Structure 1
Amino acid sequence: MSQPEMQPGGPAREERGEVPRGDLTGRPFPLGDWGEPAERLDELYRWVETAALRTVDWYLADRVWKRRTGRILRLGTALGTVAGATLPLLDLTGLVDGAAGWGYLSLLLGAAALACDRYFGVTSGWMRNMATAQAVQRRLQTLQFDWASESVREILGPAEGTASEAAERCLGVLRRFSEDVQELVRSETADWMRAFHGGLDALVLQSTPLPLAGGHARGAEPGFAGRSTLPPGTRPNMPRQRPPEPPR
């Protein structure tokens, strides 16, 4: 089993045309003849490495536009807050007449920028992408050192076990790495789904009518405050009354 190149993105990978580009769809599993186990294991290693680098590249590429958009939204929030606090003061001091209205508009725009950032998860999204890409890179480095250790063990001669056991051990290393990368992607996707549903839940709560002081919701008739609507043709259940006591 020859040891493959261990430097991701280096000249050897560029010559092979394996610079990772694309999405997370992956590539078909390489099938071939196992008459040469060393070549097959080397091909499987390159397939696993390329898939991991494609995953890292996808997250880093998706991070770019989210980071730029997040910075613009955070800058808009900061400018809107500062302008909303400064313009009314200038109006009170008489330096700028009618600036209070523009200050309220600036506060509204700053709040809208902050709401867009929170609802669409722009800032949190590029942070998750960066964390996932770094985690996959760290796991890839571990795989490279494990694979180098197996290659050195084969070159120096197996101290224990047969060739089939060595090949099975190498396949186990590749399989565990693939499962770890898939778990990292699954965890990031689950975090994104929780954040997305959290934004939807917050929007639903904001759109739900709140109860007023009279005990009824907005838009409801005051005379029916606190009463539940029954289906048509259903008689309300009257509470049981205590029978009158006999005269003494």
Structure 2
Amino acid sequence: MTAPTRRPDDLDLPDLPALTWAPGALRADLAALRAWAEGVANEAVGWYLAEKRYKARWSRRLRALAIILATLGGAVPVVALASRHPEYGNWGYLLLALAAGSVAYDRFFGYSSAWLRYVATATLIQADLTDFRVGWAAEMAAIGDREPTAEEVRALIGRAREFVGRVNEAVRVETDAWRSEFDNRMGELEVGVQGRPTMGGG
């Protein structure tokens, strides 16, 4: 089974603005190009950080639940023996099974793994955004107050294109990791279902 595609509105990247590159408008067009490139990065970072909070919340809840259930599962048999009711100790196995189920639920739906991926991707894009801003500022400082030459305009366009390309590549790598993880989880689920013993005679 293959992973479903993400909804197109999951990550809404801004459209490239209309740029004329007319004489006298080069600096304004470059400023608009820079704002667009930064908008692409900021939209991606914002999306990953928002999703990260959702995944982190569920990851912490499930992991905390697993710890509590495992602790109780280990304590119940001891308490049962101490109270001279060893038959109650069997409840400990149920609690341990529920603890394992909480961990399995987290793993199947990928809350913890997605949390880490989203943080890593957002951090990578943010670092690249900082480098882009510094590089752009350096080139604009070299131009100063004069009109940029055609070569300088091409260099800045190339810088913006490469930067947006790196942002898109970071998103693509994360999406591929998500799809691969989803396929692996579904494969494990199918193997587990096929391996379950069937009821009745054959």
TM range, smaller chain: 0.7 to 0.9
Deviates more, 1:50-59 or 1:85-94: 85-94
Match of 1:80 in 2: 69
TM-score (norm 2): 0.87
Report the alpha carbon displacement of residue 157 of structure 1 after superposing the two structures with TM. Answer: 7.5
Match of 1:111 in 2: 100
Report the alpha carbon displacement of residue 52 of structure 1 after superposing the two structures with TM. Answer: 0.8
Equivalent of 1:92 in 60, 81, 86: 81
Q: Which amino acid is the alignment partner of residue 66 of structure 2?
A: T
Q: State the superposition RMSD in angstroms.
A: 2.4
State how many pairs are aligned: 192
Match of 1:57 in 2: 46
Of all paired residues, the percent bearing the same amino acid is 31
Cα distance, 1:95–1:61 mapped onto 2, change above 3 Å? farther
**Contact 2:58–2:111 under 8 Å retained in 1:** yes
Q: Do residues 189 (structure 1) and 175 (structure 2) align? A: yes
Deviations, residues 52-92 of structure 1 (Å, cap 9, x unaligned): 11111111010111111100100111111111111112222
Deviations, residues 91-144 of structure 1 (Å, cap 9, x unaligned): 223355643232122112111101101100001111111111000000000101
Deviates more, 1:105-114 or 1:88-97: 88-97
What is the correspondence of 1:76-225 to structure 2 with a 5 Å cutoff?
A: 76-94=65-83, 98-155=87-144, 163-209=149-195, 221=202
Runs of 4+ in 1 over 2 A off after TM superposition: 92-99, 217-221
Between Structure 1 and Structure 2, which shows a larger proportion of helix residues? 2
Structure 2 stretches lacking a partner, 5+ long:
1-8
**Contact 2:12–2:43 under 8 Å retained in 1:** no
Structure 1 stretches lacking a partner, 5+ long:
1-21, 212-216, 222-248
Deviates more, 1:91-100 or 1:51-60: 91-100
Deviates more, 1:66-75 or 1:199-208: 199-208
Q: Give the greater-gyration-radius structure (CA).
A: 1
